[in-house]
Amino acid sequence: MPRELSLADIFQIGYYWETKILLTAVSLDVFSVLQGGAFTVNQVAEKMSVNARALELLMNALVAMRILNHSGKEFSNTPVADKHLVKGSPDYVGHLLVLHDSEWNHWGQLEETVRTGRSPVSQHVFETQPELGAHVLTVLDRIGRGSGIGLAQRLQLHGVERMLDVGGGAGTNAIAFCRAYPELTATVFDLPQTLKVTKAYVEKAGLSERVTLQAGNFHQDEFDGVYDVALMSDILHYQDGPTNAALVEKVYRHLNEGGRLIIKDRFLDRERTSPAWTTAFAVHILVNTEHGQCFTIDEARQWMDQAGFHHVEELEPCAMVQGSK
Ligand SMILES: C[S@@+](CC[C@H](N)C(=O)[O-])C[C@H]1O[C@@H](n2cnc3c(N)ncnc32)[C@H](O)[C@@H]1O
């Protein structure tokens, strides 16, 4: 039994100041300015062309939050800030936090959205800010590299020759799958802006011969060719159910007999009250997409059944479902 919530917990949940302090510091790129040295507030403010008094308050709070160090009158990065929050660091994750910061005003309209049911946005980030979306994919790629290998092994794709990765992003999964199965070739289908990032990753992996990039909009364009396996990973929560059903049906038409579709997403359980992270993510999707939502595995199964897939099974609770043609 989870312990009962205390009043202190309620206050903790309702307290977002530290979140916004961190997101603002990342958006202002304070940590890159502090890289490799110790500086006074005035030095940092001058480099950033910002107000020194306000910056000092922000940096004081970052010290209290253990993200910056403070000695005498000088501020410096902690090792974790140097590693993950300095632009240009191979482990930089700031793009993801900048994305969260850019979505702040959408969250500010949550009350209005709940009153009206209307989202404050009409497009998602990959359409409105393709460059930021692409940068975020580089962070997701780094975080997802290990999971791509695990997924490839888990799916047992021996003998499979052609894979379609719908909305394949940076190519994380296509690359991991091709590495795991030497006979496999893959097509990553994605928006043209995104594929600029994908191209760089595929080249870096030395897989340009085996990973093809197809630019397009999966709502409007057809996929080239037919495939033995198709993956839809983290793309279905951006649209409504009927749109997803149509997309699943489109994928079905591009699979060989016996081909498999794997859908990996952030699904809710039947009650829609867990997993906890996904229940909050569903609200995030509510205010950051026009028609998106988090679905249940049963809804995904329904799209697959309607399209004609059989042997539809949940491979991982609230995370992955697969069906065969
Ligand atoms: C959250 S990312 C998932 C990337 C990848 N599948 C993964 O699991 O890491 C969503 C991807 O869908 C792509 N996307 C969104 N709308 C699209 C559309 N209408 N047509 C093609 N790709 C789209 C985005 O560019 C982005 O690469």
CA of 235 from ligand 1 middle (Å) equals 5
In what helix (H) or strand (E) does residue 106 lie, and over which residues does it extend?
Answer: helix 104-107
- pTM, rounded to two decimals: 0.93
Let me know: does 166 contact 139? Beta carbons within 8 Å: no
Q: Is 171 in the pocket of ligand 1 (CB under 6 A)?
A: no
Query: Can you read off the two tokens belonging to residue 157?
Result: 């794709």
- CATH hierarchy code of domain 7-87: 1.10.10.10
Burial 67-95 (b: 16+ CB within 10 A, else e): bbbeeeeebbbbeebbebbbeebeebbbb
CA of 189 from ligand 1 middle (Å) equals 8
Pocket test of ligand 1: the residue of 96, 129, 191, 251 to mutate, having most ligand atoms within 8 Å of its CB, is: 191
Q: Is 218 in the pocket of ligand 1 (CB under 6 A)?
A: yes
Percent helix, strand and coil across the chain, each to the nearest 5: 50, 20, 35
What is the architecture, at CATH level 2, of domain 125-324? 3-Layer(aba) Sandwich (3.40)
Structural domain boundaries in the chain? 7-87, 125-324
Q: Is 239 in the pocket of ligand 1 (CB under 6 A)?
A: no
14-73 tens-digit pLDDT? 999 999 999 999 999 999 999 999 999 999 999 999 999 999 999 999 999 999 999 999
CA of 178 from ligand 1 middle (Å) equals 19
- Predicted pLDDT of residue 123: 86
Residues 235 and 28: their CA atoms lie apart, in Å, by 30
CA of 46 from ligand 1 middle (Å) equals 39
Q: Which atom of ligand 1 is nearest to the CA of 264?
A: 8
Q: How confident is the model at residue 1 (pLDDT cuts 50, 70, 90)?
A: low
84-110 tens-digit pLDDT? 999 999 999 999 999 999 999 999 999
243-301 tens-digit pLDDT? 999 999 999 999 999 999 999 999 999 999 999 999 999 999 999 999 999 999 999 99
201-249 tens-digit pLDDT? 999 999 999 999 999 999 999 999 999 999 999 999 999 999 999 999 9
Residues 232 and 75: their CA atoms lie apart, in Å, by 45
Pocket test of ligand 1: the residue of 190, 224, 294 to mutate, having most ligand atoms within 8 Å of its CB, is: 190
123-173 tens-digit pLDDT? 888 888 888 888 888 888 888 777 888 999 999 999 999 999 999 999 999
Terminal alpha carbon distance of the chain: 42
Residues 116 and 132: their CA atoms lie apart, in Å, by 29
What is the Rg, in whole angstroms, of the alpha carbon atoms belonging to the chain?
22
- Tokens 């930089």 correspond to what residue? 92
